[in-house]
Amino acid sequence: MAERTAPTWTWRPFSCEQYQEFSRSLIHFSQKLTNSNASPAGVRLSPEQSLDLPYVCGRTMLEHGYTIGTDYVAIRSAWFPTMLKQIMAFERGDASPPSDDEAEWIREMMREVNTTGLDVAVDSISIRARQLLVEKDGTYVAVTPLGSAGLCEILDGRINAHNEEQSASKRKTLKRAYMGYGGSNPQNIGGRARAAQRPLVFFAPSGGHHPREALRYYHRGISLVPNKEKMRNYHAWHIAQRASSGGELLSNSNRRAQEEALIKSIAQDILSRAEHAYGALIAHRERLPHQGNPLVSPQVPATVCGLIDPSLRDGDWAYRTAWAISETISDYRTAGRQRLLDFDITSSETLAQWIEEVLV
């Protein structure tokens, strides 16, 4: 893991009264994480609200000794983001205030915050906040879920550590997405809001894999031939580029970025094909030859084996597989065996470099 670098900013001193004002705005759960346009509202848990249940949530984390980072409910003063950034750096040991008095004010404020609960503007719920109807005693109660950036921060660290470990041993990592909470300036909804921008992604189960499908993947692997529709899009893009440049393909950063995105999309589709095969093989592992050990037949090319099962990848697997996929793109043919890309395309080496970035 990369070493944390020291902050490049200069500490801005604050008064004891400002810290006291700030503490009255610190919460664990914010309505603005549900909708950044919702009115400011939130809840801070107290230690007495901890809960001993086998779930991962704010109350159970408190029960197991975790300190969940608090965040401001809204920017009620222009200096709120700066103060939170400094407090977070102080808690990590990355920075200290210039005076011992200010350091003690911070410690005292955090002691109070970590031992007292707080409700902020929860008497009325913003119309922009989501509501779930839950049946209770023959009627329904409206429940509004609130997000916790501090809890996301804890989970984010655990997920990153897990994925680094999995990556180092060439095993599957947890899939994540990106959600732009707060738009271009997340600090408008909270100083820790960026920790909530990388949710986990779980794919819905398919209708189930048939044993014959698993046996086919075991003996044959998957095809590296690109998706027909994506290749047509790539071909159409090349035609459009040539038409707009008087018959010659122009070389510029914008065109290069567009082509890179198209190639990476083709590679990602092949990788998704491999993940589907992996799911089928795992589902019927006990029916495979030798109980699925290895998961793919040794007769299948090593590049394809590694695509399906990351544990079968060796040191230069990504490089060799990227070149193999690059060659299938360059030599892609229509149903009539005619090469689709019948003109000069970007070099196979460049295509392979882009594809390798998807594979590693």
Query: Could you tell me the residue ranges of all domains in the chain?
Result: 16-153, 211-359
Confidence category of residue 20, pLDDT binned at 50, 70, 90: very high
pLDDT value for 208: 62
Helices (H), strands (E): how many in the chain? 11, 7
334 vs 154, higher pLDDT: 154
Short-list 136, 166, 153, CA closest to 195: 153
Nearest in space to 193 (alpha carbons), one of 81, 57, 66: 81
**pLDDT at residue 270, rounded to an integer:** 94
**44-63: pLDDT as tens digits:** 999 999 999 988 999 999 99
**Terminal Cα distance for the chain, rounded:** 17
pLDDT at 210: 81
Q: What is the mean pLDDT of residues 159-173?
A: 86
DSSP element (H, E) containing 33: none
pLDDT digits (tens, 9 = 90+) for 184-202: 788 888 999 989 888 888 7
User: H or E element: which one contains 246?
Assistant: none
Distance (Å) of CA 60 to CA 44, 56, 156, 198, 235: 14, 6, 17, 22, 54
| pLDDT recorded at residue 82 | 93
The reply to whether the predicted model has a pTM over 0.85 is no
